[in-house]
Amino acid sequence: MSVFLSSPLMHNIFAGLAQGVIYSLVALSLVIIWQSTHVLNFAQGAMAMFASYIGMTEIDRGLNYWLCLVLSIAIGFLFGGLTERVLIRPLYGKPEINAIVVTVGFLGVIEAVAQAIWTSTTRNIATPLSQIYFHDQGRIVLLSPFVLFQFGLALAIMALVAVLFRFTNVGLKLRASALAPEVARLLGVRVNRMLTLGWMLSAGVGAVAAVIIASGSFGLYPSDMDGILIAGFIAAVVGGLDSPVGAVIGGLLIGLAEQFVLAYWSADLASLGGLIILVVALMIRPQGIFTTSVSRRV
Amino acid sequence: MKWLSSIVRQEKTSARLLGVLSLTVITLAITFILPPVADSQLAGGAAIAIVILGLSWLIGWSGQISLGNSGFMAVGAYATGIWAAHHGSTPLIFTFFLATVVGAFSGLLIAIPSTRLRGPYLAGMTLAFSAAVSPIAQNYTSVTGGEGGLFFNTLNTPHWFLNFFTGPNATINANAQWTADLAVIVAGVSFFFMANLFHSHTGRAMRLVRDNDVAAELVGINLPRTRTLAFVVAAAFAGLGGSLYVLINATVTPSTFPLTLSITLLTLMVLGGIGTLSGAVIGGIIYAFSTNLISHLNSLTGINPTSNLGANMQGIIFGFLLIVTMLFAPHGIAGLGPRIRNRVRALRQVASASTGE
């Protein structure tokens, strides 16, 4: 058993899952927005990056790591809500292309502003948790206290989102506003407020992903989230853009696929692992693997 | 090939030829006046205008959004680079033809899984494609030159053209202007082709598919084939534009086509006006002289161009313009003219109605 944990196969699985939970979080955040407003937010990664960078700046001024995490999430909330109110709300009822173009433009602005403030170099958040991998009979096991924390945090966030959507009154209103806005409005749900809340939650979840990346050994640079957003998007599409569970599983799948391409084919082509899965998934089941809704006849 | 003959056989073809020809000749005349640096910028703008035109066709006429056109550009560019590395002496027209065909083929490959997708799915899928091109280029070093890329010097200025120039910087001036003239001519041909495509049977079918796909299917239009064709044409234009783009710079590397280029293309297209020829021209002009405009703006506002803010000014302004244009003037600069005309006409009607009483 112990030899098994340090085997090359398990190395790849641990590394793949560690990357995969990040994709899962990003995919989940995309799905939350998609469910509530049917907008695919291309600025999601950049918004998360910005929130975590503000948290990072405060850490440099002596803030505690845990408070930085909370601060980043709070800024994510605020940022998400503001974005929905100012940029996205005028676009409801307009062609889909308008929202795509606006979020792509927002992505450009945020990245350029972040580079102007913090330069394009990689930054790292020092964690109180050790990044040193466990050893087992002298052989490395690709897990560290930080990686375990990363898994735990991601799981906790996912569980929180699930509980919120399934078992709370607010969650019911959120789902109602997404599914049948007119009916929900007639029944006294403040639909607009729910849409804003959806964006806030989503940006908060995204911020957690960015803080995890920045805390890892490779750190985070302003355009770093571009690739992660693409992987998260692929995960969300593979799982079905309206299925949070599918998004999480899709994220883990993409993380593993990339790691196995990296290990057994080529490090340069790692990001193609996800693309291959995407193309195959779209050919077989374009509406997503875990989706339940009826596909639109077009 | 029915669609191809339908492009050529049209009543207004001669009018379009005249329009594009006169614009091309005027631009060629301008290259004689411009300094060499501006000529080089103009060449880059012409290359980008071709790509924007393809994107404009795809988004404006077929209603399919792509964030992957920088990927198609890269395919055309690498086709050019790899060919030039082995067969540097082939005529340029063949290089352009090759880049266009290879670009079109990459568009076909992407279209097969993509054309069943709508809106945001399609945007994400094409974005994922354009992000995959540079890792591939990095991996297959023996063909693509890897990180260092490929160098080629295919744009040789012919002797008869050199003879026009005298003075200390004769060769530099001649090269810059030859590049610009060549780019303008290639762009002119592309614009003529697209102008006809817009008003062809295929173009009209495309618009119907965009506006009402059920109606399109009822009148016998093959939806998947029409959507695929839109992608193939857009990718062919991107391939040609990409080829021209790297020929001007005489090098292609994996970082020549970053993800931000897709954003820039989208910005220029939206800013110029989606689905219009004039929009693509405006986009190309803005691209060509954006560095000048930005540095001028930097000096006006007193921002140090080498500072962080100065270096990222272009990203901030482009992104901001993209948002503002989409929110307040979704038809872009090309759409402003008709909009103002309508406004004036409406005012005039109100005025004549009130005086008529």
Question: Model confidence over A78-125: pLDDT tens digits?
Answer: 999 999 999 999 888 888 888 889 999 999 999 999 999 988 888 888
Distance (Å) of CA B187 to CA B24, B43, B131, B157: 8, 10, 26, 18
Question: Model confidence over B123-134: pLDDT tens digits?
Answer: 888 888 888 888
A236-261 average pLDDT score:
88
Scored b (16 or more CB within 10 A) or e, B319-330 reads bbbbbebbbeeb
Kindly report which listed range (A42-51, A125-134, B285-294) carries the lowest average pLDDT score: A125-134
A38-49 average pLDDT score:
91
Average pLDDT taken over every residue of chain A: 86
Two structure tokens written together for B286: 């803005």
For domain A2-284, give its CATH number from 1.10.10, 1.10.3470, 1.20.120, 3.30.300.
Answer: 1.10.3470
With 0.80 as the threshold, say if the pTM is over it: yes
Residue A34: which of B320, B128, B119 has the closest Cα? B119
Chain A CA closest to residue B312: A112
- DSSP 8-state secondary structure symbol assigned to residue A220: B
For residues A205 and A244, give the distance between their C-alpha atoms in angstroms, rounded to a whole number: 12
**For residue A296, what pLDDT is reported?**
47
B20-39 average pLDDT score:
87
pLDDT above 90 (res B330): no
B131 contacts A109? CB cut-off 8 A: no
Torsion of CA B314, B316, B319, B323, to 10 degrees: -130
A102 contacts B128? CB cut-off 8 A: no
How close B339 comes to chain A (CA, Å)? 19
Residue B31: which of B18, B45, B49 has the closest Cα? B45
For residues A34 and A36, give the distance between their C-alpha atoms in angstroms, rounded to a whole number: 6
How close B53 comes to chain A (CA, Å)? 17
**For residue A75, what pLDDT is reported?**
94
For residues B355 and B357, give the distance between their C-alpha atoms in angstroms, rounded to a whole number: 5
Domain ranges within chain A, ordered by starting residue: 2-284
Q: Which of B125, B309, B327 is opposite residue A102, by nearest beta carbon? A: B327
Chain B CA closest to residue A281: B113
In chain B, the domains with their CATH numbers are 2-356 (1.10.3470)
Residue A258: which of A66, A3, A20 has the closest Cα? A20
B59 interfaces chain A, CB cutoff of 8 Å? yes
Do residues B264 and B127 touch, judged by C-beta distance below 8 A?
no
What percent of chain B stands above pLDDT 90?
26
Do residues B147 and B137 touch, judged by C-beta distance below 8 A?
no
Chain B CA closest to residue A278: B125
Q: How many CA atoms lie within 13 A of A69 on its CB side?
A: 16
Residue A139: phi and psi, rounded to 5, are: -110, 145
- The yes/no answer to whether this complex scores an ipTM above 0.95 is no
Residues sharing a CB contact under 8 Å with residue A35, sequence separation 6 or more, in sequence order: A175, A178, A198, A242, A244
A275 contacts B309? CB cut-off 8 A: no
| B48-57, B202-211, B340-349 — most confident range | B48-57
**For residue A73, what pLDDT is reported?**
93
For residues A6 and A15, give the distance between their C-alpha atoms in angstroms, rounded to a whole number: 12
- Tell me whether strands A139-141 and B251-252 are parallel, antiparallel or unpaired: unpaired
Residue A297 pLDDT level (bands cut at 50, 70, 90): very low
* Contact residues, chain A, for B266 at CB < 8 Å: 101, 104-105
For residues B332 and B322, give the distance between their C-alpha atoms in angstroms, rounded to a whole number: 10
Residue B10 pLDDT level (bands cut at 50, 70, 90): low
Higher pLDDT, B227 or B1: B227
Q: Which of A104, A119, A275 is opposite residue B266, by nearest beta carbon? A: A104
B170-179 average pLDDT score:
84
For residues B103 and B329, give the distance between their C-alpha atoms in angstroms, rounded to a whole number: 32
pLDDT above 90 (res A275): no
Higher pLDDT, B140 or A82: A82
What percent of chain A stands above pLDDT 90?
33
Average pLDDT taken over every residue of chain B: 85
